[in-house]
Structure 1
Amino acid sequence: MNKARILPSRLATRHAALGISLAVTFVGTAVVQAADVPIENNRFGCVMEPFETVNLATSADGVLLEVTVDRGDRITEGQLLARLDSSVEEAEVQLARVSAASNAAVESSRARLAFQKARLKRNEDLAGQNMISLEELEEIETEVELAEHDLRQAQVNKELDRLELDRAINDLERRSILAPFDGVVMEKLLNVGEFSDGNTKVLRVARMDPLRVEAKLPAALYGVLAVGVHAEVYPSEAVGGTYTAQVSDIDTVLDSRDGTFRVRLVLGNQDYALPAGVRCQVRFLP
């Protein structure tokens, strides 16, 4: 009969420091675990971070004409944040808009077709009375077919003008940077007058509602938590207070180097009262 062995002292010390009562019994090479982990009675270290951060750049080359925000400014989704000099692109949009709005070619072709059809009808009556030759009638029928072709081509050109306007507008929009979400400006990376090659980062912005709370827990607790569990978050003394968060993600890959796994929580921050980049402690509720 194999005897049970006690956890190595260093591992036992680490778990004891966390306030975790854990017993592991080894039977041969198999592991039989009997754990009593009062997770709700323990606090774990965490960090409050922005839900996401994005480096913003234009997708076109040019000189930066304006930046409408600065570091620390709050932004709303769709807000214009910066744009390149766009005088050429704006002129192209105006020209394309005039062309797309004009219906003269289509109306002219339609009127010509109506005239040729009316002419054909008159001459068909004359041909029935043998007053014009068959060759003359065939010429008029050909004129009708050509007028129909011209109308179809005018309609195609009209659609091409519309597509050209869409392309010109798209080129103009590519020279502006709009806020991808509600948040704050973390950093302004390019100033007015500087050149952007299309890959140059202009602004760095962060989504602050909700905040993301990242915590590392001992591997012994893996399987104890579940997505949706609520927790209390205690920011460092510089911020203070107690806030309720909810588990949104649990890593399925543990870190073998320190015997931990990561847990992510979301913490509502609608009024932006809580800053990001703050250390905290988290206690999971039963």
Structure 2
Amino acid sequence: MNRKWIATLCVFVSVQCLSWLDSGVLGTGYVNTVAADEYEAFTEPYRRINVSSSEMGVITDLKVREGDEVRQGQVLAQLEDSLLRKTLEVSRAAKDAVGGKTAAEAEVVIREQQVQSYRRLSTQGNATPRELERAESDHQQALARLQSVTEELNVRALEYQRVICQLEQRRILSPADGVVVSLAKEAGEFVSPTDPVLLQLVQLDRLKAVFSVPLRRIDRLSEGQTVVVRVGGSRRPVVGTLEHISPVANAESGTIRVRVILDNQKKDLRSGVVCWLDLEASARSLESKRARVGANLLSPAVR
């Protein structure tokens, strides 16, 4: 009888304790510190770029190291280009060779003078129509030769510009502002079409965090909305912008991926730390903003 009574008492106490835990009666030390309307993720670089080379060749100079901050358009590496520089000199010489054009222009002047002379003689009856036609034909041929030489010089100028572009492609430029986080190649190594990556660059002036939000909460969110994100172990509140809501839900978890952007111009937020999307604080912030906008729309007399 005593054993039965003791067992019944134990069950009653267990149920009561569970009830107290759920209601928070036993104190905050036993209650989950994360609110029910918060969703966890990790901060990430806004962009992660594998900088590659469109040309193959040996790296003669690697101008950055891990941790360096770079600007868009900054030279990151240089490929071997001695042969192209010689080709550029040949192209420049060919482009600047105008002797053929000068000779063709002189011939055009002579042929034109001959035509004028035969026309005067023809009006005086001292030249036959056949002689005049031959002079005009020679003039047209001289014009054609001048046109041919001019077109050839234009092609040489384009060839010169092409070599300049090829030389530019031997320089690897930064596609964006960011920080170098890893090097895949060193000076002296060969860059091939099958292995073109030189380094990895991350953009840290903005961070992103991708949260999985339950379907029942998604109606409270919209793209472009200002939200509150708590970052790191100190749960520092940071204002972010909801950049994208996935149009497709995850059927297994019943959630939708939401991407939030955090401004990090001061570089005071670290990438790769835990963060929480606080929907309750975001809703309060949105309501406060709407209230301020509504107050500003009122006239001074109404206020």
Q: TM-score, normalised by structure 1?
A: 0.79
CA distance in structure 1 between the partners assigned to 2:188 and 2:213 by the alignment:
49
Q: 1:202 — aligned with what? A: 198
Q: 1:276 — aligned with what? A: 271
Asked if 1:262 corresponds to 2:257, the answer is yes
Deviation at 1:45, TM superposition (A): 0.7
Deviation at 1:126, TM superposition (A): 2.0
CA distance in structure 2 between the partners assigned to 1:154 and 1:112 by the alignment:
12
State whether residues 246 and 265 of structure 1, in contact with CA within 8 Å, keep that contact through their aligned partners in structure 2. yes
Residue 141 of structure 2 aligns with an amino acid whose one-letter code is: L
Q: Give the stretch that moved more between structures: 50-59 or 274-283.
A: 274-283
- CA change 1:160–1:225 in 2 (3 A) is same
Q: 1:171 — aligned with what? A: 166
Q: 1:222 — aligned with what? A: 218
CA distance in structure 1 between the partners assigned to 2:67 and 2:39 by the alignment:
30
Residue 88 of structure 1 aligns with an amino acid whose one-letter code is: L
- The sequence identity of aligned pairs, in percent, is 26
Q: Give the stretch that moved more between structures: 68-77 or 196-205.
A: 196-205
CA distance in structure 2 between the partners assigned to 1:202 and 1:235 by the alignment:
32
CA distance in structure 1 between the partners assigned to 2:157 and 2:247 by the alignment:
51
Q: Which structure's residues are more often helix, by fraction?
A: 2
What is the RMSD computed on CA atoms of the aligned residues?
Answer: 2.1
Residues 3-82 of structure 1 correspond to what in structure 2 (within 5 A)? Answer: 42-82=37-77
- Once the two structures are superposed, residues 43-96 of structure 1 have per-residue CA deviations (whole angstroms, 9 ceiling, x without a partner) of 221211111111111111111111111111111111111121011112222332
Asked if 1:212 corresponds to 2:208, the answer is yes
- Once the two structures are superposed, residues 192-249 of structure 1 have per-residue CA deviations (whole angstroms, 9 ceiling, x without a partner) of 1111113421111112222112111122212221112212222213x86332101010
> Match of 1:251, SS?
strand
CA distance in structure 1 between the partners assigned to 2:114 and 2:214 by the alignment:
92
Q: TM-score, normalised by structure 2?
A: 0.75
Q: 1:88 — aligned with what? A: 83
> Match of 1:115, SS?
helix
Deviation at 1:108, TM superposition (A): 3.3
The runs of 5 or more residues in structure 1 that have no matched partner are 1-16, 18-39
Residue 186 of structure 1 aligns with an amino acid whose one-letter code is: V
State whether residues 235 and 275 of structure 2, in contact with CA within 8 Å, keep that contact through their aligned partners in structure 1. no
Q: Give the stretch that moved more between structures: 96-105 or 159-168.
A: 96-105
CA distance in structure 1 between the partners assigned to 2:184 and 2:274 by the alignment:
26
> Match of 2:248, SS?
coil
The runs of 5 or more residues in structure 2 that have no matched partner are 1-21, 23-34, 284-303
Match of 1:115 among 110, 115, 129: 110
- CA change 1:98–1:240 in 2 (3 A) is farther
Q: 1:137 — aligned with what? A: 132
CA distance in structure 2 between the partners assigned to 1:182 and 1:106 by the alignment:
48
The total of aligned residue pairs comes to 247
- Once the two structures are superposed, residues 2-50 of structure 1 have per-residue CA deviations (whole angstroms, 9 ceiling, x without a partner) of xxxxxxxxxxxxxxx9xxxxxxxxxxxxxxxxxxxxxx98322121111
> Match of 1:156, SS?
helix
Q: Which has the larger radius of gyration?
A: 2
Q: Give the stretch that moved more between structures: 80-89 or 41-50.
A: 41-50
